[in-house]
């Protein structure tokens, strides 16, 4: 019975890991210039519309930015250079990805810090609960329990 | 005259709310029965006043009474009647009127359903808290956000709503559902405050408010999803969620509310987590007010800014007051809130609920931080920066995956502690379903570690929910799907369907933009689209250009683009060829040039996007089933006891 359970799990895990492996291999990084330009455009916000990136917006300025991204990609500029260029041209708030330097980096770090602290707090609570439970049962308690059981 | 009736209505509402609150204070001080009974009259008057005010506004809108400032600013003669009715919640003052109506409705319903316990101090304090909130909102309507201002000279026609708000019938339902959710949390909030004040901190008040919390949560869920659907059908960019500040603001109370719905089970079952549950509930209500502050104050740029106003400081004040009151009350009752009992093992049902709560709270925290972060940075060093979709996607993906995992594991666990062997036996079926889902997804062409893992976990969640339902159904038949655990499992299935739709449509969508002459064909992701012809018509003062497009195998569709004389840029009306496999989303990019028959059409192919709406429907059904009384001692619980 137990062996059968183990074997079944082996099958399940094999199928799952196999699928994940195939999925991971099938996904290739942006290869062509057009793909790279597309990914950059998805992270540049249209300066006059609220919350839409330049891919989604129909505004003329969004169309202009799309063309500029294509041109800069063609010139062989790196993603970072293009983003910096856009920030100089249209203001830092067209970059949908907050920077990882300066005060702005807090937006990336604080959640990780909070997550670590709260998981730690939960672990601490479990340890304390466990300790508390061990303290609760004294010899005296056990003696009373035994006495009661005999009585019944 | 109509405006006058409205003002009278608001006045009656305000007096009713104040009168009710004062009566309750007297009733609580002197403990006299007749004081308690008088509350019925005050609440009745308040509700009647509010209904009168809403009727006055609707009559003004439907009869094109442009002597009313609100009507002149937000409606036109040409507006179809459905949108005239919906104009009530199309702008700030009217939407506050709707808020007051929903709030009065809830207070009246609570008063009616607790009529036999009206002398109960818990109920009295709860009503008093809710009436205090009513006083605030009627106060806004009576002064700073008066919807019934009049114009000396009535213009011949009004300005009309932002055209985005009047081209889809969902606009008539989405805000109402959202408000039913937002405002509905006032009821559990009132009872939480009452429990803290009276010191009756046992589980009684939780059981009392269970149905109300579920109604509010269900409405909020549906309201948010209808908003997403509206945005998909109307905005023309093919998306439904942009991590826009106002969307985030609606998600925040939903997240803490969902955390509460789960952790409250631990309290009812084990008497634990009292402080935590109260805090979640207080936070949920506070966040609804905070969300309203974000929407209504204009501090943050957002597509929802159409109703920005100067009410910011008042709403922020209310938010601060709620926060201070909550912290003070929880602090004051701290000793009594210390709960007995402990959690024995992390691998247990209650352990899973704790994990759920941790994840939901972190989720909410990330969204709150990302939403207000630009404001914080601007305040610190005057820098302008944006926190956009890529940030939320990256930060929330691991949390979402972990939530799906917990969602699948939790129903398999027993209370107190679960042995590895038992979990191994129970999890096998659901895990097999998950693995098969992944294999199927990969076979159908899905790629990428994150998306495929998410899809697999979705299958796992469905497996574990179906297992739970099937085991219970052996004893109870169809009633297995009712009650908290049954309805909850149905909702879990809905969440998985929604996750499938969300993951597939965000990860595997393809798009193309085509310049087409009549008869020409474009192709995206195996879908052929053929441009048939263009029509260019005037609809009243508006120029509507419509392209007839054939989507191969799906039929004819007609995306349009409209130039409104009163509104700057043209508004595209997309057209979607929907199926359960994928949606072909057509939208016109620009108004074609004069005497040209070339259209620029954007085509998006989004797989499984329809599953999001189906999932939303299943979640709503699950909520309704959860409200129906289920059987206690369900099979799974018996199983837990003997396991």
What pLDDT does B641 receive? 41
Q: Locate B15 and state its tokens.
A: 């007096």
First to last CA, chain A: 40
Query: Do A113 and A74 lie in a common domain?
Result: no
What are residue B382's phi and psi, to 5 degrees?
A: 65, 15
Query: Do A111 and A81 lie in a common domain?
Result: no
Domain ranges of chain B: 1-161, 514-607
Query: Do A56 and A16 lie in a common domain?
Result: yes
Decide if A50 touches B, using CB distance below 8 A. Answer: yes
What pLDDT does B643 receive? 35
The domain boundary, picked from A97, A117, A132, lies at A97
First to last CA, chain B: 71
All residues of chain B having their beta carbon less than 8 Å from the beta carbon of residue A119 are 358
CB burial readout B3-42, b (16+ within 10 A) else e: bebbbebbbbbbbbbbbbbebbeebbeeeeeebbebbbeb
Summarize pLDDT for B202-241 with one digit per residue, the tens. 878 888 888 999 999 999 999 999 999 998 988 878 889 9
Asked if the model's pLDDT at residue B26 lies above 60, the reply is yes
Question: Which of A18, A24, A43 minimises the CB distance to B390?
Answer: A43
Domain count across chain A: 2
Asked if the model's pLDDT at residue B642 lies above 70, the reply is no
What pLDDT does B275 receive? 85
**pLDDT grade, residue B612 (50/70/90)?**
very high
What pLDDT does B301 receive? 58
How many interchain CB pairs under 8 A, A with B?
Answer: 155
Chain B segment 363-382 residues within 8 A of A by beta carbon are: 365-366, 369-370, 373-374, 377, 380-381
Cross-chain residue pair A42–B237, CB shorter than 8 Å = no
What pLDDT does B330 receive? 87
As beta bridge partners, residue B537 has: B544
CB burial readout A130-147, b (16+ within 10 A) else e: eeeeeeeeeeeeeeeeee
The rounded distance, in Å, linking the Cα atoms of B270 and B280 is: 18
| Mean of pLDDT values over B302-307 | 52
Chain B segment 193-232 residues within 8 A of A by beta carbon are: none
What pLDDT does B300 receive? 65
The domain that holds A48 is classified in CATH as: 1.10.8.640
Segment B569-578 long-range contacts (CB within 8 Å, at least 24 positions apart): B569/A58, B569/A59, B571/B163, B571/B164, B571/B167, B571/B236, B572/A58, B572/B236, B573/B167, B573/B234, B573/B236, B574/B233, B574/B234, B574/B235, B574/B236, B574/B238, B575/B549, B576/B232, B576/B233, B577/B551, B578/B610
Asked if the model's pLDDT at residue B457 lies above 50, the reply is yes
Query: Do A93 and A123 lie in a common domain?
Result: no
What pLDDT does A107 receive? 93
Query: Do A120 and A77 lie in a common domain?
Result: no
Decide if A13 touches B, using CB distance below 8 A. Answer: yes
What pLDDT does B639 receive? 42
All residues of chain B having their beta carbon less than 8 Å from the beta carbon of residue A11 are 432
Q: How many CB atoms lie within 10 A of CB B576?
A: 21
Any idea what DSSP says for residue A44?
B
Cross-chain residue pair A119–B381, CB shorter than 8 Å = no
Cross-chain residue pair B302–A110, CB shorter than 8 Å = no
Higher pLDDT, A81 or A56: A81
What pLDDT does B529 receive? 93
Average confidence score pLDDT of chain B: 88
What pLDDT does B395 receive? 93
CB burial readout A68-80, b (16+ within 10 A) else e: bbbebbeeebeee
Cross-chain residue pair A96–B442, CB shorter than 8 Å = no
Percentage of chain B with pLDDT > 90? Answer: 56
Any idea what DSSP says for residue B451?
H
What pLDDT does B637 receive? 44
Burial class of residue B603 (count of CB atoms within 10 Å of its CB; 0-12, 13-18, 19+):
buried
Query: Do A86 and A112 lie in a common domain?
Result: no
Residue B365 to chain A, least CA–CA distance (Å)? 7
Query: Do A84 and A21 lie in a common domain?
Result: yes
What pLDDT does A61 receive? 87
- Which range is least confidently modeled, A36-50, A133-147, B337-351, B437-451? A133-147
Show the domain range for A20.
2-97
The domain boundary, picked from A69, A97, A125, lies at A97
Summarize pLDDT for B103-112 with one digit per residue, the tens. 999 999 999 9
Closest CA relative to residue B78, chosen from B175, B9, B161: B161
**pLDDT grade, residue B380 (50/70/90)?**
confident
Query: Do A48 and A93 lie in a common domain?
Result: yes
| Cβ-based neighbours of B295, under 8 Å, separated by 6 or more | B246, B249, B302, B304, B307
Query: Do A14 and A72 lie in a common domain?
Result: yes
Which of B56-60, B171-175, B563-567 has the highest average model confidence (pLDDT)? B56-60
The rounded distance, in Å, linking the Cα atoms of A49 and B465 is: 42
Query: Do A78 and A54 lie in a common domain?
Result: yes
Decide if A53 touches B, using CB distance below 8 A. Answer: yes
Higher pLDDT, B436 or B569: B436
Within 13 Å of residue B95, how many CA atoms lie on the same side as its CB? 26
Asked if the model's pLDDT at residue B5 lies above 90, the reply is yes
Percentage of chain B with pLDDT > 70? Answer: 95
Nearest-Cα residue of chain A relative to residue B367: A111
- Which range is least confidently modeled, B17-26, B569-578, B618-627? B569-578
């Amino acid at each position: 019975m137990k062996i059968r359970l183990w074997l079944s799990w082996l099958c399940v895990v094999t199928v799952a890991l196999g699928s994940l492996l195939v999925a991971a291999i099938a996904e290739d990084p942006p290869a062509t210039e057009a793909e790279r330009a597309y990914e950059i455009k998805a992270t540049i916000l249209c300066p006059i519309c609220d919350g839409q990136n330049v891919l989604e917006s129909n505004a003329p300025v969004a169309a202009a930015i799309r063309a500029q991204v294509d041109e800069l990609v063609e010139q062989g500029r790196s993603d970072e250079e293009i983003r910096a260029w856009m920030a100089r041209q249209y203001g830092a708030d067209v970059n949908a990805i907050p920077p990882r330097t300066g005060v702005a980096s807090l937006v990336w770090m604080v959640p990780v810090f909070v997550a670590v602290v709260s998981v730690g707090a939960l672990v601490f609570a479990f340890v304390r609960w466990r300790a508390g439970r061990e303290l609760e049962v004294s010899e005296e308690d056990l003696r009373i329990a035994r006495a009661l059981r005999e009585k019944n | 005259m109509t405006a006058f009736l409205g003002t009278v209505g608001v006045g009656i509402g305000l007096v009713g709310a104040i009168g009710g609150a004062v009566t309750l204070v007297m009733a609580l001080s002197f403990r006299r029965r007749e004081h308690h009974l008088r509350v019925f009259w005050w609440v009745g008057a308040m509700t009647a006043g509010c209904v009168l005010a809403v009727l006055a506004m609707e009559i003004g809108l439907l009869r094109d009474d442009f002597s009313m400032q609100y009507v002149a600013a937000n409606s036109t003669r040409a507006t179809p009647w459905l949108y005239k009715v919906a104009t009530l919640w199309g702008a700030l003052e009217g939407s506050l009127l709707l808020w007051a109506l929903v709030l009065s409705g809830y207070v009246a319903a609570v008063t009616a359903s607790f009529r036999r316990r009206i002398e109960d101090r818990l109920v009295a304090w709860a009503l008093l808290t809710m009436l205090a909130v009513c006083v605030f909102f009627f106060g806004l309507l009576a002064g700073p956000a008066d919807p019934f201002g009049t114009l000396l000279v009535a213009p011949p026609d009004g300005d009309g709503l932002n055209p985005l708000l009047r081209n889809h019938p969902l606009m008539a339902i989405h805000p109402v559902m959202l408000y039913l959710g937002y405002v509905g949390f006032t009821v559990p909030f009132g009872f939480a405050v009452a429990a803290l004040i009276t010191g009756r901190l046992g589980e009684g008040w939780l059981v009392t408010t269970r149905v109300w919390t579920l109604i509010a949560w269900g409405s909020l869920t549906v309201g948010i999803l209808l908003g997403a659907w509206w945005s998909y059908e109307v905005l023309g960019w093919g998306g439904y969620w942009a991590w826009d500040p106002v969307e985030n603001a609606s998600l925040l109370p939903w997240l803490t509310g969902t955390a509460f719905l789960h952790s409250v089970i631990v309290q009812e079952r084990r008497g634990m987590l009292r402080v935590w549950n109260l805090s979640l509930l207080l936070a949920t209500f506070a966040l609804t007010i905070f969300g309203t502050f974000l929407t209504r104050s204009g501090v943050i740029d957002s597509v929802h800014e159409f109703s920005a106003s100067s009410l910011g400081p008042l709403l922020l004040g209310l938010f601060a007051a709620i926060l201070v009151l909550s912290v003070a009350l929880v602090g004051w009752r701290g000793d009594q809130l210390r709960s007995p009992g402990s959690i024995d093992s992390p691998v247990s049902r209650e352990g899973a609920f704790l994990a759920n709560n941790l994840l939901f709270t972190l989720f909410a925290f990330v969204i709150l931080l990302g939403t207000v972060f630009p404001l914080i940075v601007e305040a610190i060093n005057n820098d302008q920066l944006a926190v956009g979709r890529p940030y939320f996607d990256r930060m929330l993906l691991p949390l979402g995956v972990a939530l799906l995992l917990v969602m699948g594991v939790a129903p398999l666990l027993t209370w107190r502690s679960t042995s590895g062997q038992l979990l191994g036996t129970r999890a096998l079926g659901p895990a097999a379903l998950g693995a098969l889902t992944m294999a199927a997804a990969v076979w159908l062409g899905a790629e990428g570690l994150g998306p495929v893992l998410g899809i697999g976990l979705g299958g796992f969640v469905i497996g574990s929910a179906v297992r739970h339902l099937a085991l219970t159904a052996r004893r109870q038949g169809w009633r297995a799907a009712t009650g908290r655990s049954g309805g909850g499992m149905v909702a879990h299935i809905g969440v998985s369907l929604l996750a499938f739709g969300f993951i597939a449509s965000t990860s595997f969508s393809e798009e193309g933009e085509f310049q087409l002459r009549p008869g020409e064909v474009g192709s995206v992701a195996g879908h052929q689209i053929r441009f048939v012809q263009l029509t260019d018509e005037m609809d009243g003062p508006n120029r509507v250009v419509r392209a007839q497009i054939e989507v191969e195998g799906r039929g004819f569709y007609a995306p349009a683009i409209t130039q409104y004389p009163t509104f700057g840029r043209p508004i595209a009306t997309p057209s979607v060829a929907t199926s359960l496999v994928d949606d072909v989303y057509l939208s016109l990019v620009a108004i074609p040039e004069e005497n040209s028959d070339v259209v620029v059409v954007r085509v998006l192919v989004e797989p499984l996007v329809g599953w999001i709406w189906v999932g939303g429907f299943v979640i709503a059904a699950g909520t309704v089933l959860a409200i129906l009384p289920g059987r206690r001692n369900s099979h799974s619980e018996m199983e837990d006891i003997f396991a």
